[in-house]
């Protein structure tokens, strides 16, 4: 072989090895930087790894999203477990605050705002959990362009979340090609299918895609404005929360308008409904509102402008205290840019100035059902914000063939709720659960999550 050709081959090999070494060294260092040594107040017997930090999604605008990764315990072999991305809604609410600290994460924040307590039915026992604060302006996620906070909407949120995933998988290549699911609740009923659609579309042409999306699941999810309105107003009336006249007023004024940007007439009807409902917790109508706090509901703009975005103001207070502690932020590698505002469970600016919001997710459902993705929808039946009736009307509009008709599912001999299996979608209800199903019924939510991952129907006995 010609000496010059041999030399060129050797140089090419060295460059390839060098590039591979640099790449490997880079992500190893990034993971080491993001590794959480210990969260202040956490229990002493934590046997799983945690990571958190920032992923830049738009360098020009200076947008970076904050994540918290909670792996499965070492005794449950995290390398064999799927990865699940959890998203909360609002729009403008923190997945760290709700999904992480209240619902499916490994810890709940104590009433002192300092201690963390283990959850018996934490979902990381079944999967590695990735909580994302999205969009920029929510929680610790930030933008260096203040105008971004006033112009955020569904499309940008989906694009930034996708960019986050692409960059995050480069930082954590051990999760590439592993089974991946997207799960969320409330207005994440928009975020989850929209992001799933993006991932699915951009995976086309790849036999073994890095982001190996297998399906998604949503709870008490905003799905379709028209059917959500019909089902919500019917739920209020059937549960005696509003008068006949207000029910008629709502049906007349709201059915044909956007839920995110309702008309003046619809807003007036919603205001009448708020006054008639009184000081209840609409997110869990049979739960006593928290004492020693401001009135639970406030006239805010958001997914439902007449209701507060948070489930339990007391629980929210605990998180607000904990995540604003300097030592907690240091442990989380958070607030590195020293934000000009405190961490909040929900961003009023992001929620109040939300821009684009498609009226229906049903076209995306049809597309992803046809693509063969696994799709589950669950609903707590004491939620008056996105009630079970709204979800059933939306699913009925898909006109899917039924595989297994409506039946009660059981937990230790007691009815946990009801389920119906359609061709391409499974619906599960949870009796006695409010808007945040894993908060109200943690064991039942855990059973649903396990059945979803294993692709098994809910237990019939």
- The CA angle 367-371-376, to the nearest 5 degrees, is 80
Spatial separation of the C-alpha atoms in residues 227 and 245, rounded to whole Å: 20
Beta bridge partners of 182: 85, 216
In the 8-state DSSP scheme, what is residue 115? Answer: -
Rounded CA separation 461/419 (Å): 13
- CA 303, CA 281: separation in Å to the nearest integer? 16
Which two tokens mark 185? 């609740």
Structure token digits, residue 70:
């909670």
In contact, 235 and 389? CB cutoff 8 Å = yes
112 flagged as catalytic = no
The span from the CA of 158 to the CA of 453, in Å, is 24
What is the Cα–Cα distance from 259 to 279, expressed in whole angstroms? 22
Q: Which of these is catalytic: 200, 227, 333, 435?
A: 435
Give yes or no: 248 in active site.
Answer: no
Question: What is the phi-psi region of residue 292: left when phi exceeds 0, alpha when psi lies from -120 to 50, beta otherwise?
Answer: left
Residue 48's region, left for phi above 0, alpha for psi from -120 to 50, else beta, is beta
Q: Active-site residue 134, yes or no?
A: no
Strand residues in 23-127 grouped as ranges (E):
50-58, 63-70, 83-87, 107-109, 116-118
Check 52, 186, 284, 379 and give the catalytic one.
186
Active-site pick, 383, 394, 419, 440:
383
> 72 and 83 in contact (C-beta within 8 Å)?
no
Tell me the C-alpha distance between 460 and 408, whole Å.
Answer: 7
Contacts of 173 (CB under 8 A, 6+ apart): 27
| Strand, helix or coil for residue 281 | coil
Residue 65, Cβ neighbours under 10 Å: how many?
A: 26
Q: Which residues are catalytic?
A: 186, 383, 435
């Amino acid at each position: 072989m010609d000496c010059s050709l041999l030399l060129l081959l050797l140089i090419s090999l060295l460059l390839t090895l060098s590039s591979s070494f640099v790449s490997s060294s880079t992500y190893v260092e990034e993971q080491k930087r993001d590794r959480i040594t210990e969260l202040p107040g956490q229990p002493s017997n934590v046997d799983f790894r945690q990571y958190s930090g920032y992923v830049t999604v738009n360098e020009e605008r200076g947008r970076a999203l904050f994540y918290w990764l909670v792996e499965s315990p070492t005794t449950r072999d995290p390398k064999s477990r799927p990865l699940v991305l959890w998203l909360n809604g609002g729009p403008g609410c923190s997945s760290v605050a709700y999904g992480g600290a209240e619902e499916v994460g490994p810890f709940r924040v104590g009433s002192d705002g300092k201690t963390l307590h283990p959850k018996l039915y934490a979902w990381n026992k079944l999967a590695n959990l990735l909580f994302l604060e999205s969009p920029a302006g929510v929680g610790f996620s930030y933008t260096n362009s203040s105008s971004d906070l006033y112009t955020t909407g569904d499309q940008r949120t989906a694009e930034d979340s996708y960019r986050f995933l692409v960059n995050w998988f480069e930082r954590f290549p051990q999760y590439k090609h592993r089974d991946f699911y997207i799960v969320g609740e409330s207005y994440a009923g928009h975020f989850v299918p929209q992001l799933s659609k993006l991932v699915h579309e951009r995976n086309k042409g790849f036999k073994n895609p890095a982001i190996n999306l297998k399906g998604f699941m949503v709870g008490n999810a905003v799905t379709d404005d028209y059917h959500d309105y019909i089902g919500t107003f019917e739920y209020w009336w059937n549960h005696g929360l509003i008068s006949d006249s207000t029910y008629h007023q709502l049906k007349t004024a709201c059915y044909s308008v956007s839920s995110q940007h309702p008309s003046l007439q619809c807003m007036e009807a919603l205001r009448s409904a708020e006054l008639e409902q009184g000081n209840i917790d609409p997110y869990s109508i049979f739960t006593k509102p928290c004492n020693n706090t401001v009135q639970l509901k406030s006239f805010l703009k958001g997914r439902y402008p007449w209701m507060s975005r948070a489930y339990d103001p007391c629980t929210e207070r605990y998180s607000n205290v904990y995540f604003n502690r300097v030592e907690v932020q240091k442990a989380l590698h958070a607030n590195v840019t020293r934000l000009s505002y405190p961490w909040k469970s929900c961003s009023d600016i992001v929620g109040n100035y939300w821009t684009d919001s498609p009226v229906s997710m049903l076209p995306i459902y049809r597309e992803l059902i046809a693509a063969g993705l696994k799709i589950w929808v669950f609903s707590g039946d004491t939620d008056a914000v996105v009630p079970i009736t709204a979800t059933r009307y939306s699913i009925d509009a898909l006109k899917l063939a039924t595989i297994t008709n409506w039946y009660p599912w059981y937990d230790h001999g007691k009815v946990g709720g009801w389920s119906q299996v359609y061709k391409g979608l499974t619906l599960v209800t949870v009796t006695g659960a409010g808007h945040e199903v894993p908060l109200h019924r943690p064991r039942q939510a855990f059973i649903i999550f396990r059945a979803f991952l294993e692709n098994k129907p809910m237990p019939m006995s």
